[in-house]
Amino acid sequence: MHIQASEIADAVGGQLIGTDVTVDGATIDSRAVTAGQLFVPIVAARNGHDFIPAAVTEGATAYLTSEEPRPAVAATAITCDDTAAALADVGRLVRRRLPERVVGVTGSVGKTSTKDLLAGVLATTFVTTASQKSFNNELGLPLTLADASDDTEAVVLEMGARGIGHIAHLCSIAHPTVGIITRVEGVHLEMFGDIEAVGRAKGELVESLPADGIAVLNADHKHVIAMADRTSAQVLSFGLTPSADVSATDIRVDAALRASFRLHTPWGSTDITLGARGEHQVSNALAAAAAAGGLGVPVEAMAEGFLGAALSGLRMELITTDSGVTILNDAYNANPTSMSAALRSLVALDARRRVAVLGTMAELGDQSAAAHQAIALEAQALGVEVIAVDEPDYGSTARHVVGIEGAADALADIGERDVVLVKGSRVAALERVADALR
């Protein structure tokens, strides 16, 4: 969004040094600057201030700084006490200019896919801005707001949390009018401790909603639907239970893992085919349909939006190699719920042999060993071979290898009509296995 540097200085409580230029959007990455952006140097493992000259060379017209402005840099400086906090204030500044169609999406599982599906549906009716990839923290969320176009009519913001209060902080920036809670599961337990704490953290989203807002809650999950008592907003429920406000019947999955179903909503019913793969995407689509319908998208437009919606990368990508091997690349992240869903998708594919190359499921705390063993046993029951990469907790039913090369060696004998699932937490970066197979 186009903003005057002087407005930013006022918003962050800083001083404008230089020309009062117009900036268009913001970035924290000096390598990704586009002309006219505001550069925000973040102080972390490296001091982002060291990259101000490079950012200006790439086209940044102004930069925030908590250090002395750099006289040799030919761009406008905006001083502040803390650049990360100032970025949040820039997000708040932009939010005040946006219409009251701002959707926050959170949950233990499915928030990125739900965000992508909802963005595709809203775009049939409104000019829509949505979080890129998984830009869901205190840096990514205000960057998404800052990059909204001047004519934006709806915004979809993914919200992640690693502790109590994180989502409340994001809501203080975004002021969502619609909040979606996908699921509450036992993930990130190293930070939260137990599933009840996960629920408390995720519920901060519905607590932030205005009385004329909409809380979109999963009727299939007790920890989520119970959040209806934590908000004064209108509640729209979604799920496979027939009593949900938005539900699905006649679910079918084709040979390419694309689900079709009959969508039932308070605004009418229609047939839906998802462009996204996996039967587990039906629940995410129902969440998106509830939010979109609440914001005025006709059900007929939803059908078009769901078919064309594209998921962020490394999520249920289906690739066939020249040798006839099929790769199901779901390597972006993993937890017990998403891992189980990916295994079920794997066995739904026609195949001679099914292999799952699995990395660690991180941040599960005391439940880690049991969770990994349970996934290995589920795979065995489904007739899936498991190749465990650098994760001993998958146990004796898995074949254990070290590193990407070890995984590639273990797959040396795969051939035509074999299917390989690749999945693990982000730290495992198992997309490298998919790249090697290609």
Three-state secondary structure call for residue 377: helix
Q: DSSP per residue over 338-354, as a string?
A: HHHHHHHHHHHS--SEE
Per-residue confidence (pLDDT) for residue 63, from 0 to 100: 98
Q: What is the pLDDT of residue 122?
A: 98
Q: What average pLDDT does this structure show over 236-253? A: 97
pLDDT of residue 102: 98
3-state secondary structure of 224: helix
Query: Which residues does 371 contact at the CB level (< 8 Å), separation at least 6?
Result: 186, 336, 361, 364, 393
CATH 3.40.1390.10 residue spans of the chain:
2-86
Q: Which of 243, 247, 215, 210 is nearest to 229 (CA)?
A: 215
pLDDT at 71 (0 to 100):
84
Whole-angstrom Cα distance, residue 188 to residue 180? 19
CATH 3.90.190.20 in the chain, residues? Answer: 317-437
Tell me which of 189 and 30 has the higher pLDDT: 30
Instruction: Find the mean pLDDT for residues 401-415.
Output: 96
What is the spatial distance between Cα 96 and Cα 270, in angstroms, rounded to a whole number? 36
What's the CATH number for 2-86?
3.40.1390.10
Three-state SS string across 282-317, please?
HHHHHHHHHHHHHCCCCHHHHHHHHHHCCCCCCCCE
Residue 188 has pLDDT above 80, yes or no: no
The topology under which CATH files domain 98-308 is UDP-N-acetylmuramoyl-L-alanine:D-glutamate ligase (3.40.1190)
pLDDT at 187 exceeding the cut of 90: no
Q: Residues 111, 105: contact at Cβ < 8 Å?
A: yes
- Min mean pLDDT across 126-130, 195-199, 235-239 is at 195-199
Is residue 134 scored above 80 in pLDDT?
no
Q: How would you label 283-297 residue by residue, b for 16+ Cβ within 10 Å and e otherwise?
A: bbbbbbbbbbbbbeb
The predicted structure's pLDDT at residue 402: 98
Q: Rounded mean pLDDT of the chain?
A: 96
- Among 54, 55, 53, residue whose Cα is nearest residue 38: 55
Record the tokens describing residue 74, joined without a space: 């030919």
Q: Please, which pLDDT band fits residue 47 given cuts at 50, 70 and 90?
A: very high
* 233-237: average pLDDT: 98
Give the DSSP letter of residue 31: G
Kindly report, residue by residue over 352-395, the tens digit of the pLDDT.
999 999 999 999 999 999 999 999 999 999 999 999 999 999 99
Mean pLDDT value across residues 69-97: 96
To which residue do tokens 């200006």 refer?
Answer: 56
pLDDT at residue number 286: 98
CATH superfamily of 317-437: Mur ligase, C-terminal domain (3.90.190.20)
Portions of the chain given CATH number 3.40.1190.10: 98-308
Q: What pLDDT is recorded for position 310?
A: 85
